Amino acid sequence: MRSKITQILTLLLAFVVHVSFAQEKTITGKVTDETGMPLPGVNIVVKGTSTGTQTDFDGNYSITAGVGQVLQFSYVGMATAEQTIGASNTISIQMAEDAQALEEVVVVAYGTQTKQRLVQSVSIVNTEDIEDIPAVSPQELLQGQASGVQMVNSSGILGSAPVIKIRGVASINAGGRPLVVVDGVPLNDEALSSGQGGTALNPLADINPNDIASFSVLKDAAAAAIYGSRGANGVVLIQTKSGRQGEKTKVTLDINSSWSEVTDTFDMMSADQYRQFLVSTGQAGSVDDLPQGSYNWPENVVRTGFSKDLNFSIAGGSEKTTFYAGFTHKDQEGFIVGNNLTRFSGRINLTHQATDWLKVGANLGVTENNLDRVGADNSTFAPLTSAYLQTPWVEPYDENGNFVNTGFIANVIAIEALDINDSKTFRTTGNIFGEIKLLEELTYKMDFGIDRILLEEFQRSFEINSPEGFASDFVAQQNKHVFTNSLNYDTTFGEVHDFSAVVGMTYEQTEIRETSMDATGFLSDKQINIVSASTPGETLNRSRGNRLVGYFGRFNYAYDNKYIVEGSLRRDGSSRFGVNNRYGTFWAVGGAWVLSQEKFMQDVNWINNLKIRGNYGVSGNDRIGDFASRERYTGGRDDGDPSSGILDGNYNGVSGLRLLDPGNPNLRWEKSTSYDIGFEVSLLNNRISLNVDYYRKKTSDLILNVTIPQTNGGISSILDNLGEMENKGVDIDLNTVNIQTENFSWSTSLNLGFNKNKVLSLPGASEDSEGRRFVAGTLSQRAIEGHSVNTFYLIRYKGVNSETGNAEWLDKDGNVTTTPTTNDRVIAGDANPDFVGGLRNTLKYKNWDLNFFFNFSYGNDIFIDGLRFAENPFSFNKRTKLLNIWEAPGDNAYLPSPESSTFGVFNQRSTAQLRDGSYARLKNLTLGYSLPSEFLENSFISGVRFYATANNIWTIKDSDLKGIDPEVSDRGFSNVRQGESFFTPPQSKTYLIGARITF
């Protein structure tokens, strides 16, 4: 398949190489708007030819054309202007705003729509918002960019998977991530890689962020219902870059280098402090009896990582053909030793107007990621975890400077210096499409897309770290294809009636195959692969997959651009659900009223645009895994996670079977019903624009892991459709142009998303002592009826009594106790923020620009589970806070008296590990300078921009969070395990300098 696509691409590419020889004379000029501000990026085409150019940063252009030919100027939001070439060599024009004001076109599901006619809540993130953010994966670009989108980085490990929620989490046990669609192809974002203690690698880390032109975030049912069974968590549409018809070929080269370092690390005891601690707490007789070594592990597993990034792209188009080709090479060092990423990525996007009725095109992106991984979170091989816990007198080297094995808390310095832990992925995503214009108003589109991943994870641990050596190899391949047919109808009749509609069907199939093996018994560290091992370990070969068929339709009718109604419908069938419940129907209706188009508003000059809109609809969620509805007895090995206690069905060479999953043949779709009402207003010559949306989303038939007593055959839970949950809130986007003069401008954009999550009912779930039904997510948090899905449920810690030296807690009734039990747990916090958002300020002075961007989260609690270990009075190294030991009455101590019965349990699970997780972070600070055009006048270079960027350099957070990064997510995506950290590596601080040159 891939080679065929390559052939087609080669052919298409042949069309593109197109040189014009019709030189006559050079026309120059400047394009400005009505206020006289230069307009960069205006498209200028010699009408009827393939010759075209764009204005530079100062609005200047230069084009060759003949006398009598017509220059066509076009720019988003401006009326297209034409000028016939006469005797003069200079044509400067002032472009007027389009009478239809904001005729901005936005990408929506299965098509585009003008912003004016949108009845949906869609947030757009454009190239200029994201181009300065150095990102490994696409999701990173979304943080703080759009209202109602909460993005939490899971860790500072390269390639780690962030958690994204759109308007809160709409599910409890089904997946909570939005659907991601790249150029119309819904991607699989199921993790194929192993977790290695923390989260699996970001499944979208091999989509190159540099290729992304824009995001459309579909937030409400009206926008997402057409994705039916997968729309309930919202949809992120990604458009990759493309050339433009008639655009002069533009070459862009962007090079940057960056340095990254760690933001926050725990303050752990030194060897001397640790020895003294043991003596002070009676665990050792004297300092001299203890081992005398000393090593600062936390300091030695972090570093300043140096990274280089090169992006090269070429884009352009003739009248019939557009193209974009991009190439990226990234060579990145993380701030944790042994964490490196090398990426090669290429993309080519083409369209060709073959005849007046046939258009064909192809988008193809390939990425190779080579990641040198490190463990994270809950792993003794994770550099940061083990560095915190390692006894500080243990040294990584012996007296001769050779590595030593440090036992269960592994020598992570030796592991990172010696062992191999590589994860390589090769991903191909793309589609080819054809559009046939059947009638002037009716277009048929056929689209065939693929998403293919090959992953290989190879690990080799050498003699010193694993006696006799160890190797494992895991290969996974995902093969997905999507076939979509649609008919688009678009017409205007009677001057004022605009009608558009789309109907279609789509079929998707995904298959994943996995193979792994491991072995021990290597003669020499020089032998790398399993072929050299003497003792084969466990082998695995398995497959899974799913199929989905969907039929969809949507219409949009606008009367005089004032009154707009829209409806959409989708019927989906999925192999994931029980035979009786495979199909589900999803729909939405909406309307909008553009008040500013009304006659009575024509005289209100200070209002440029005023629209109110509302919609209501139903969308679904199918993120339950491929075989969740199936009763399954399994034979061989099930998964590689020994902590699950699941090994295999076999014994002593005899094949066996055991119950893996009881399944539920009646499992059906989870449905989210939501409404959204909003208004959009632009004031004072569009210098102030405000969007406000209120929404309420109710999820019913919640797909719930109903926990049952394990006395039922060791089964922990049964998946069922039970219960209801609600998210309601307000999204606000405010954009202002604060100052606009010839040389200086300052604009601000603010987005805020308020969301309140509440579990409405959980019939069938267990009841707590207050009679509230709940589903436990972790030992610290629960979804509780009447409360948030991520409610912390903990014993309340009071602190050390300064008189008695005992640690004290509160019992259920609020009385002080020194012997709390789990019966004393109460609702203690919520992992969901009251609001999240972003604030961006852009200042421009002549050729300088300054951009600073904060993202923030307010009102969420976080549970730092790792503190139970890092503050364990007996084993492991400890935080220096534990040096504050109670010795005599009156001491205001952190640690209880070593004589107290509470000494060994003061660190037990309680609010002692709970923190206020609110923060505001200076996510990005960029200073740019563009060379004035006169510098470049006689060169082939059309623009040069130098920029310097700093990321995450400043964070405002609670004083209790010293050494703790507020962005946490313990082991991934589970909706009921949010806001917890078990040694989650912190975010990195990055400093970057770069240059962008266009030709």
Partner 1 sequence: MKKYSIYIIMTALLFMSACDDRLDFDPKDDLTREQVYADRAGALGALTGIYSIGQIGNVFNGTLQLFGEWQSDNIQFVGSFPTFQEVSRYTTLADNTSISALWRDNWRAIGQANEVITFIPEMEDPDFTSDEREKAIAEAKFLRALLYFNMSNLFGHPFQVNGGNNLSIPLVTEPFDINDIKFPSRATLNDIHALIETDLTEAIPDLDNSDNARATKAAAQALLARLYLYREEFQKAAGMANEVINNSSFSLASDYNFYNTTANEFLFTLVNSETDSQTSNESFSGLTNPTPAGRGDAPFSQNLLDAYGEEEGDLRYSELIQIGADAAGNESVFTTKFPDAINNSGNAPVIRITEMYLTRAEANFRAGTSIGAAPLDDINMLRERADLGALASVDLDIILNERRKELAFEGHRRMDLLRNGMNLRREGMNNVAESALGANKTIFPIPVREVDINPSLEQNPGY
In this chain, which stretch among 359-367, 693-701, 810-818, 871-879 interacts with partner 1, using CB under 8 A? Answer: 871-879
In this chain, which stretch among 29-37, 598-606, 736-744, 902-910 interacts with partner 1, using CB under 8 A? Answer: 902-910
- 397/507 with CB nearer partner 1: 507
Query: 3-state class of 13 per DSSP?
Result: helix
Q: How far is the CB of 655 from partner 1 (least distance, A)?
A: 6
Asked if residue 187 binds partner 1 (CB under 8 A), the reply is no
- Rounded to the nearest 5°, which phi and psi values hold at 153? -70, 130
Selected binder of partner 1 within 252, 280, 370, 707 (CB under 8 A): 707
Task: Note whether 347 and 319 are within 8 A (CB).
Answer: no
DSSP string, 873-914: SSSS--BGGGG-B--STT---SB--TTSTTGGGTTSSSGGGE
Selected binder of partner 1 within 872, 898, 933, 991 (CB under 8 A): 872
In this chain, which stretch among 416-424, 590-598, 705-713, 831-839 interacts with partner 1, using CB under 8 A? Answer: 705-713
In this chain, which stretch among 84-92, 201-209, 401-409, 919-927 interacts with partner 1, using CB under 8 A? Answer: 401-409
- 529/543 with CB nearer partner 1: 543
Asked if residue 407 binds partner 1 (CB under 8 A), the reply is yes
Asked if residue 408 binds partner 1 (CB under 8 A), the reply is yes
Tell me which amino acid residue 608 is: N
Distance CA(342)–CA(307), nearest Å, equals 10
Least Cα distance to 879 among 285, 262, 392 occurs for 392
Indicate if the alpha-carbon torsion angle 462, 464, 469, 472 is positive or negative: negative
- 76/438 with CB nearer partner 1: 438
Query: What part of residues 261-300 is at the interface with partner 1 (CB under 8 A)?
Result: 291
Q: How far is the CB of 409 from partner 1 (least distance, A)?
A: 6
Q: Which residues pair with 479 in a beta bridge?
A: 452, 511
Q: Are strands 25-32 and 93-94 parallel, antiparallel or unpaired?
A: parallel
Q: How far is the CB of 485 from partner 1 (least distance, A)?
A: 5
Task: Note whether 943 and 58 are within 8 A (CB).
Answer: no
Asked if residue 821 binds partner 1 (CB under 8 A), the reply is yes
Selected binder of partner 1 within 632, 696, 756, 787 (CB under 8 A): 632
Distance CA(522)–CA(103), nearest Å, equals 67
DSSP string, 542-610: EEEEEEEEEEEEEEEEEETTTEEEEEEEEEEEETTS-GGG-EEEEEEEEEEEEGGGSGGGTT-TTEEEE
In this chain, which stretch among 38-46, 71-79, 316-324, 387-395 interacts with partner 1, using CB under 8 A? Answer: 387-395
Query: What part of residues 461-480 is at the interface with partner 1 (CB under 8 A)?
Result: 464-468
Selected binder of partner 1 within 344, 593, 694, 876 (CB under 8 A): 876
Token pair, residue 455, equals 């992953």
Indicate if the alpha-carbon torsion angle 414, 416, 422, 423 is positive or negative: positive
Q: How far is the CB of 781 from partner 1 (least distance, A)?
A: 13
Asked if residue 642 binds partner 1 (CB under 8 A), the reply is yes
Q: Which letter, b or e, does each residue of 85-107 get, where b requires 16 or more Cβ atoms within 10 Å of its Cβ? A: beeeeebebebebeeebbbeebb
Q: Which residues pair with 89 in a beta bridge?
A: none
In this chain, which stretch among 73-81, 141-149, 324-332, 501-509 interacts with partner 1, using CB under 8 A? Answer: 501-509
Selected binder of partner 1 within 655, 738, 741, 884 (CB under 8 A): 655
Token pair, residue 616, equals 């209501």
Q: Give the x/- contact pattern for partner 1 in 520-559, rule: CB under 8 A.
A: x--------------xxxxx--xxxxxxxx----------
In this chain, which stretch among 711-719, 803-811, 832-840, 952-960 interacts with partner 1, using CB under 8 A? Answer: 711-719
- 606/651 with CB nearer partner 1: 651
Token pair, residue 216, equals 């459309």
Distance CA(463)–CA(533), nearest Å, equals 12
- 99/654 with CB nearer partner 1: 654
Asked if residue 634 binds partner 1 (CB under 8 A), the reply is yes
Please report where in the chains the tokens 């994870």 appear, as a residue.
457
- 38/972 with CB nearer partner 1: 972
Selected binder of partner 1 within 114, 585, 650, 700 (CB under 8 A): 650
Q: How far is the CB of 504 from partner 1 (least distance, A)?
A: 7
Tell me which amino acid residue 109 is: A
Task: Note whether 263 and 923 are within 8 A (CB).
Answer: no
Q: Give the x/- contact pattern for partner 1 in 737-776, rule: CB under 8 A.
A: -----------------------------xxx-------x
Q: How far is the CB of 621 from partner 1 (least distance, A)?
A: 18
Q: Are strands 796-800 and 807-810 parallel, antiparallel or unpaired?
A: antiparallel
Task: Note whether 983 and 388 are within 8 A (CB).
Answer: yes
Query: What part of residues 934-953 is at the interface with partner 1 (CB under 8 A)?
Result: none
Selected binder of partner 1 within 779, 843, 941, 997 (CB under 8 A): 779
Asked if residue 713 binds partner 1 (CB under 8 A), the reply is yes
Task: Note whether 967 and 849 are within 8 A (CB).
Answer: no
Least Cα distance to 615 among 694, 732, 731, 730 occurs for 694
**Cβ within 8 Å of residue 22, ≥6 positions away:** 49, 51, 66
In this chain, which stretch among 136-144, 160-168, 222-230, 389-397 interacts with partner 1, using CB under 8 A? Answer: 389-397
Asked if residue 685 binds partner 1 (CB under 8 A), the reply is no
Whole-Å CA distances, 687 to 99, 127, 130, 851: 17, 20, 22, 18
DSSP string, 30-56: EEE-TTS-B-TT-EEEETTSS-EEE--
Please report where in the chains the tokens 């510098």 appear, as a residue.
935
Asked if residue 652 binds partner 1 (CB under 8 A), the reply is yes
- 820/966 with CB nearer partner 1: 820
Q: How far is the CB of 489 from partner 1 (least distance, A)?
A: 13
Whole-Å CA distances, 663 to 148, 435, 578, 649, 719: 34, 43, 9, 18, 7
Selected binder of partner 1 within 306, 633, 848, 999 (CB under 8 A): 633
Asked if residue 630 binds partner 1 (CB under 8 A), the reply is yes
Q: How many Cβ atoms are within 10 Å of 298's Cβ, its own excluded?
A: 20
Q: How far is the CB of 892 from partner 1 (least distance, A)?
A: 25
Asked if residue 391 binds partner 1 (CB under 8 A), the reply is yes
Asked if residue 714 binds partner 1 (CB under 8 A), the reply is yes
Q: Which residues pair with 106 in a beta bridge?
A: 113
- 446/995 with CB nearer partner 1: 446
Distance CA(547)–CA(483), nearest Å, equals 12
Asked if residue 896 binds partner 1 (CB under 8 A), the reply is no
Q: How far is the CB of 391 from partner 1 (least distance, A)?
A: 7
In this chain, which stretch among 268-276, 339-347, 715-723, 738-746 interacts with partner 1, using CB under 8 A? Answer: 715-723
Whole-Å CA distances, 128 to 42, 215, 313, 475, 723: 15, 12, 16, 38, 43
Q: Give the x/- contact pattern for partner 1 in 572-611, rule: CB under 8 A.
A: -xxx------x-----------------------------
Query: What part of residues 333-362 is at the interface with partner 1 (CB under 8 A)?
Result: 357
Distance CA(696)–CA(677), nearest Å, equals 9
Query: What part of residues 219-248 is at the interface with partner 1 (CB under 8 A)?
Result: none
Selected binder of partner 1 within 17, 438, 523, 816 (CB under 8 A): 438
The residue count for binding partner 1 (CB under 8 A) is 101
In this chain, which stretch among 613-621, 643-651, 855-863, 969-977 interacts with partner 1, using CB under 8 A? Answer: 643-651
Query: What part of residues 831-870 is at the interface with partner 1 (CB under 8 A)?
Result: 868-869
